[in-house]
Every structure is written in structure tokens, then in C-alpha cells.
Amino acid sequence: MKATAMATGKRLPPAPGQKNSTTAPHGGIFMPGAEPSGTTVDPFDVREVIARHRLRFPVEISQPLVLISQIQRCGGTLVSQLLDGHPQLHAHPGELHIGRPNKYFWPNLDLAQPVEALFEALFERPTVENAERGYQKQSAAEAAFDPDYRERVLPFIFDLGLQRQLFLQFAASRPFQSQRDALDAYATSYFNSWLDYQGLYRSPRSVRYWSCFAARLLSKPGNVAAFFADYPDGKVITVLREPVSWYASARRHSHEYADPAAAAELWYESYSRLRDDLEEHEGRYLMLGFEETVEDTEAAMRRVAAFLGIKYRKSMLVPTFNGLPIRSDSSFGARIGVDSSARDRSHDVSEEARNYIQKRAGDLHKSLVKVVDRHAKLYK
């Protein structure tokens, strides 16, 4: 694992156009009011002081990625939030949006482009809104059922300008030889610019992975091969949800799922591809059952810990955002903690739609339940 600048006492060279500075006094920690001669930092300008610290002592994020991915409304957000407080992970706070033309595509960068263009190609547009308004995760369709959701905003203090500076600084220190280098630079710039991120200053030797949720990313052709090309040391977690119950939740989440026939086809295609990839990448995939995850969260998360080779902790029983309790991302009303009532929503689906979905997707679901059971025995 690469050493971090903070751990070694070294610092990355300045970004293009940024003035260099000498080693700070006071044990290597930059102290306002004790700047090297010739600097112009205003000790009363909070943003300037914080940015100077982060630019001078960035924590490098070069660990492999744990990617949680499957079709929406199957529990991927929940699993990512259950990993939020684990000290061996840097947990991305929301969905990953580094692909183009949208989040359903894995990046395909042209490293011959200027560094500024590479940053723009990876930059996550939702970060702007979250930085302005605070973090919340709910669709417009769900808001119709839960009009008070805007009151449940959590703090997300993020410096967008600093992120760009950090990315350029990282690139200046070690020109990108691979797309993984650019992704490491992006992860470093992201977590160091998230100013109130509670897990940044951990022992670098203890952090095994960074993690995120990316809906449907691995359901698209070519994305799995591209992901493992960048992260041969990466891991994938996917969550299987019974298709009728899934449909009840999905149609409230987005109008895209309003038609049961089209929704069933999307579920089927998504999990068919995941089934094929599971067989090809055995040992790098874990499939959890949604129903067990919400009913016996401890058993499910002990399995995740065994799969990742990290220590199981009780923090994995409570969904959090940056260490703060967060309400469930549910189409049926948000609750604090794991919402076990989400196990079965099939009563909310008409008999006609239920029969159609079971006929189209039932056999595939049964075959994947066997995969969940096999992984339950494999990862204890």
C-alpha cells in the first residue's frame, strides 16, 4: 500500500501556479500565525487556512474500491450506509457519479488529455447541490409520498475549489500512467475536500478499502471488465431482492418502473448479467439477500466483514452518514435504523402484476437465492 503524505511527513508538490512553502514548524503541523516568511495566508480566513492544511498534508486514498451495485431499490444504499462507520473503510457518502454520459457507465479516460479535462470527466455533479444544500437522498417520485423529506438534511461541508486543486497537485506529483492513477487522485481529492469527513485522519495501515454504491453500474455490458481492469484488487457486493416486493418499492421511486412488464424485464436483465459475472469472477463478488439484510442485519454484515477481510463491528448494524444516524432510503416512509418492514412489500402489488412478474423473474430469483445461500456458507 502506498504511504500517505500525512503518515510519512512528506507532502505533494504544489499544483501548477501554486506557490511552494517550506516545512511547517510545530511538529510538521501548519499553525495559523506561524507561516513561513513570504506567505500571505490570512489566519482569520477560515477557508484559506483549511485549504492550506489540506493542500499541504493530504491523506492519500489509494486503497482498492468496494463497489456495491445492482438495480435500484434492492438495498445497495442501506449496505453502503452500514459500512459508513467502519474504521477500515473510507465510505463515499452517496451514489458514485464518475461515469459519462451518466452514472451507469464506468469511466473511460483519455490520459493524453490535460489534467484539468480529466478532472472534469470524473467530477460528480451531485456534489455541487449537496455542498450547497446539505445531503439528502430521495427521488421526486418518493417525495410525493413523503413531503417532509426536505427537513431531513444532513451536513456536508465540501470545498469544490479545493477538490480541483488537490487533483491537480496529485497529478503534478506523479503523472498518470494508468486510469487507476487518475482514480486514486480523484478519490484523494474527494475525501480531502469533504471538510467535515469524520474518518479522514485514520492510520493509513488500518484502512483496507474505500467503498461506494453505484446503482445499475454493473448491469451494463463492459462495466465489470472495466472495473476489474482498474481495480484487480477490488471487490463487488450486490443485493438480491424478491422481484414482486422490489417492484412495489421501485414504482414509487421512479416513473421508469410504472409498467410492471417493463420493470420485470429490467429486473431480469440486470440480475441475469450479475449472475453471469458472479460465475466469472468468483471470489470477488458477494451476493446478499435483501430480506436477510433487513431482518438479520448482523448475520448479513458479518458475512460482508468476512468477505472483505475486515473486522466485524457493531457499527455495521446502524445505517449512518458520516457517523450520523440517517433515515432509511425507503419509498414507503423513512425510518431511523434498519427498516425490517421493507422485507415484503408484495401486498402493495395487484394480483395481475404479481403473477406476471413471478412468471418472468421467479425462476431466476430462485436460482440466485441458491447463490446467496452458498455465499452464506462460504463467508462466515
Confidence of residue 256 (pLDDT cuts 50, 70, 90): confident
Residues 173-202: tens digit of each pLDDT: 999 999 999 999 999 999 999 999 999 999
Task: Show the DSSP H helices in the chain as ranges.
Answer: 5-8, 46-56, 76-82, 115-122, 126-133, 140-143, 160-173, 179-193, 223-230, 243-253, 260-280, 290-295, 297-308, 351-378
Residue 229 in grid coordinates:
481492469
Residue 16, pLDDT > 50, answer: no
| Average pLDDT of the segment spanning 243-263 | 91
pTM recorded for the entire structure: 0.85
Least confident of 43-57, 148-162, 257-271: 148-162
pLDDT for res 44: 83
Long-range residue pairs from 97-105, CB within 8 A, at least 24 positions apart, any chain: 97/124, 97/125, 97/126, 98/122, 98/123, 98/124, 98/183, 98/186, 99/217, 103/214, 103/215, 103/217, 104/215, 104/216, 104/217, 104/219, 104/220, 104/223, 105/217, 105/220, 105/223
pLDDT for res 46: 84
pLDDT for res 68: 98
Helix axes 351-378, 260-280, angle to 10 degrees: 20
> CB 179: neighbour CB atoms within 10 A?
18
Residue 40, pLDDT > 80, answer: no
Residue 69 in grid coordinates:
451495485
Where do the domains of the chain lie, and which CATH numbers do they carry?
A: 5-378 (3.40.50.300)
Cis peptide before 101 (omega within 30 of 0): yes
Percent of the chain with pLDDT over 90: 69
Residue 155, pLDDT > 50, answer: yes
Residue 138, pLDDT > 70, answer: no
Report CA-CA distances (Å) from 249 to 62, 205, 242, 330.
Answer: 36, 40, 11, 8
Contact 231, 65 (CB under 8 A): yes
Distance, CA of 347 to CA of 351 (rounded, Å): 9
Residues 337-370: tens digit of each pLDDT: 787 878 777 888 999 999 999 999 999 999 999 9
Contact 149, 104 (CB under 8 A): no
pLDDT for res 15: 41
Distance, CA of 231 to CA of 223 (rounded, Å): 12
Residue 136, pLDDT > 90, answer: no
Distance, CA of 301 to CA of 294 (rounded, Å): 11
Amino acid at 207: V
